[in-house]
Chains A and B, each alone.
Chain A
Amino acid sequence: MSANTSAPMTGGQTGQAGPAGVGAGSVIHDLGYRRYDGLRLGRAQIVRALAWHSFRAAFGFGRGAKAKIVPLVALVALCLPAIVNAFAMSRGNARIVDYDTYTPTFRDLLMTVFVAVQAPELVSRDLRSRVLPLYFARPIKTIDYPLAKYLAFTGACLVMMELPLLLLYGGSIANVHGGAAVWGQTRALIPGLLVGLMWAVVLAAISLFLASLTGRRAFATGAVAIFFLLTFTLAEILLQVESNLNQVGPAVPVQTGPGGQIVKHVLPPAPDVAEKVSGLFSPFTLFDGVRMWLGGAADPADGVANPGAFGVVYALVLIAILALCLYGLAARYRKARLA
């Protein structure tokens, strides 16, 4: 913004690009815009960069300190049972936490908090600040944006699920002796890690899809939280009601759930159809059903009954939910709308 009008130009022109064309042999050199002719990284690099940036955002990095509180508190809280277990084992007590079930309801609630608060950070923020055109004005296909976000968030949920398991493993290894025992621990760890993978893949899909429906973060958090908690409580109630109709075993006050102690009755070996169907109503119970179908042990603290052969239906429902959410997520961005 200079008002300096003094610089005299030959020929009275102030143009920049191209020769002035006044006299033969005179030329004004174009020193302005230069083209970039170097190496251009392709789609894969863009997707990778976006995914890495989103992965960091899932834990609040790249924003202020307050954004890190909830995800890191959730991560630490989720790791606590592993630490407590290591402590207990070091004192010679039996392990209190298993690899594949970990601490059921506690983990359900913490993962609900994590995905409800962080999924909007990944997708709703971009919708609100209308930066999608900036992303799509790059040489990527429209599927790349949701793909990158999904990969990032699955990775984040994977960290949330597997880190405590690895800590549990580390704590157990430190307390057992002998190669055979270590190998036993390792063999027990693998199914736990696979369960964690299942959780991460599905939870990320559902929460990202729900969050991408709105640009307001608070609204998205509310919607995701309501979805998971509503379905979870619904399934739990149905399971308890159905299981109570069977033989009632000794009452075992086992664990705390939201709002009060849930007194569970030990489940009889053969649950009826209504009980099996009850487990279909919530992603968390679906996870457990699939886990048990694939050979996992029933955890008495958990309300889900072993579905037996019916577990195939659990797996199919889970896959259907996953497919629907991924399709919805991709469709959401197909037209690159602004909001």
Chain B
Amino acid sequence: MFAANFRGDDPPRPPMQAYFNPTIAALTVRATLGRRRAFLFALPAVVLIALTLILRASHPQALVWPDRVLGDFGFSVLLPLTALIVGTGVLGAEIDDGSAIHLLATPVRRSTIVVTKFAVAAMVTAVFAAVPELLAGLLAPDSSGLAVALFVGALVGSVIYSAVFVLASVLTSRAIAFGLLYVLIWEGVLSNLVGGARILSIAHYCLGIANALHPDVGLHAGLTLGTSVTLGIIVTVGALTIASRRLSSFAIQGEPA
């Protein structure tokens, strides 16, 4: 009866595209990279490259600094922090200020929303963390093997971290606080102290993969390639599934009485 003029028939869509919505992706990219926020995650990447260049100029012999720059800075700080800020922001910011309802009051499937947002988060994190990591690694002397390995590890990390942080932002409004606790304390300290905890540490999945590509004792990777890949897939798919289910039950907390 209504909308006869404006509603075209929904064209049948190929299965993969059913999970990715370009409109949502465009909105998310604009929201994430708007103004001041982009500065926040462009800065660490710039500092990484700058540091590499300065050290290369002042200490041309490799010694030990590429490991520290690529590993401690790039992999252990830049990647998880960028993923945290981006990942908790893609959906979390909208839920927090209430504009998510305009997105949810449409027939778009909840899993599509989650997967699209996750994909944008992973891509932005890859651009602002994995790519600078590769660049720094290629700029540093004698490190191209390590650079490529860490680049692949960072790509995998962008994916897994984004999935977990998007899930966190659906579960709680304080996702970035808990995420920071996880990144700094769990990944930074505990999982290195307690060996068994490595299976719950995303950083170690990535290190395991990087180590398999370019074995390096300095990486201190504790997991094998097989374990890392398997756990990575389980965590990613599991996180996205749970996030989609929870988003279906998105409830507006109205003002009670």
Q: Which residues of A contact B (CB under 8 A)?
A: 66-67, 69-70, 73-74, 77, 105-106, 109-110, 112-113, 116-117, 214, 216-219, 221-223, 225-226, 229-230, 233-234, 236-237, 240-241, 244-245, 256-262
Contacts and interface: CB of A to CB of B under 8 A. Distances in A.
A240 B71 CA distance: 14
B245 interface: no
Interface in B30-69: 36-37, 40-41, 43-44, 47, 51, 55, 59, 63-65, 68-69
Most buried by A among B40, B73, B184: B184
Nearest to A67: B174
The 6 closest A-B pairs by CB, nearest first: A259-B76, A258-B188, A222-B85, A117-B177, A256-B192, A258-B76
A260 B187 CA distance: 9
Contact of B181 (A113, A217, A258): A113
A106 B51 CA distance: 25
B93 interface: yes
B86 to A, nearest CB: 9
Contact of B73 (A66, A113, A237): A237
B72 A259 contact: yes
A261 B220 contact: yes
Given A226-B43, A229-B81, A237-B68, A216 B73 contact: no
B96 A258 contact: no
B72 A258 contact: yes
B193 interface: yes
Contact of B47 (A218, A230, A240): A230
A83 to B, nearest CB: 16
A219 B84 CA distance: 11
A257 B93 contact: no
A73 B181 contact: yes
Contacts of B92: 218
Most buried by B among A73, A221, A261: A221
Given A109-B188, A240-B64, A259-B187, A234 B181 contact: no
Given A218-B96, A229-B81, A109 B189 contact: yes
A233 B172 contact: no
Contacts of B177: 70, 117, 221
B89 A259 contact: no
Contact of B172 (A66, A214, A221, A222): A66
Contacts of A217: 176
Given A241-B63, A256-B189, A259-B71, 16 more contacts: A66-B174, A70-B181, A113-B185, A117-B180, A219-B37, A226-B81, A226-B85, A236-B68, A237-B65, A237-B72, A240-B64, A241-B59, A259-B76, A260-B71, A260-B219, A261-B220
B44 A230 contact: yes
B166 interface: no
B167 interface: no
A106 B172 CA distance: 26
A307 B174 CA distance: 41
Contacts of A262: 72
A241 B65 contact: yes
23 contacts: A66-B174, A70-B178, A106-B189, A218-B89, A218-B175, A218-B176, A219-B37, A226-B41, A230-B44, A230-B47, A230-B77, A237-B68, A241-B65, A241-B68, A244-B63, A256-B188, A256-B192, A256-B193, A258-B72, A258-B189, A259-B71, A260-B72, A262-B72
Contact of B75 (A214, A222, A256, A259): A259
Contact of B184 (A219, A223, A258): A258
A261 B40 contact: no
Contacts of B71: 259-260
A268 to B, nearest CB: 16
A299 to B, nearest CB: 17
Given A110-B185, A229-B77, A256-B189, A237 B69 contact: yes
Contacts of A223: 40
A261 B192 contact: yes
Contacts of B218: 260
A230 B172 CA distance: 26
A196 B68 CA distance: 29
B88 interface: yes
Contact of B176 (A222, A234, A259): A222
A257 B73 contact: no
B203 interface: yes
Contact of A113 (B68, B175, B180): B180
A257 B203 CA distance: 13
A78 to B, nearest CB: 11
B37 to A, nearest CB: 7
Contacts of A216: 93, 96
Contacts of A74: 181
Contacts of B63: 241, 244
Contacts of A70: 174, 177-178, 181
A74 B185 CA distance: 9
Contact of A109 (B41, B64, B184, B192): B184
B65 A240 contact: yes
A236 B188 contact: no
